[in-house]
Amino acid sequence: MIITRFSKSKLFTAYNLARAAARKAGDLKRIERLNKALGILQSKAYYTGERAQYSPTPAACSCKDWQYHMATRRAYTGPCKHMLSETIAANVLASRQAYNVTKWLTVKTSEVAQ
């Protein structure tokens, strides 16, 4: 997936939706990871450093956190912060696509008057 820089508005909208879902489920560990994922997406160094090293997708990552996510002593078995950042990025891109389609389908009032 090609990642571009996001506007703060779109980024925080996707983050707030994910955080609200985690809060509703009562998953405090996921909220902590979402906070870290937001920091990752705001960092310019992530795209050249950690992302190249771990090559995360929304479904898998090669970091140590994800490799040991099913260990019996861990309290959290969900996605790592890299995977959550990719999920938020995918949601931002999906909302951008939905906006462009809606904008394209909307008829301008000047076109209707003709």
* Amino acid at residue number 89: A
Q: Around Cβ 17, how many Cβ atoms within 10 Å?
A: 13
- Residue 62 near residue 55 (C-beta atoms within 8 A): yes
Cα–Cα distance between 47 and 33 in angstroms, integer? 18
pLDDT value for 20:
94
pLDDT value for 3:
46
Q: Cα 23 from chain centroid?
A: 16
- Residue 90 near residue 7 (C-beta atoms within 8 A): no
Q: What are phi and psi of 48, to 5 degrees?
A: -105, -25
pLDDT value for 32:
92
Model confidence pLDDT, tens digit, residues 18-62: 999 999 999 898 999 999 999 888 887 776 777 888 888 888 888
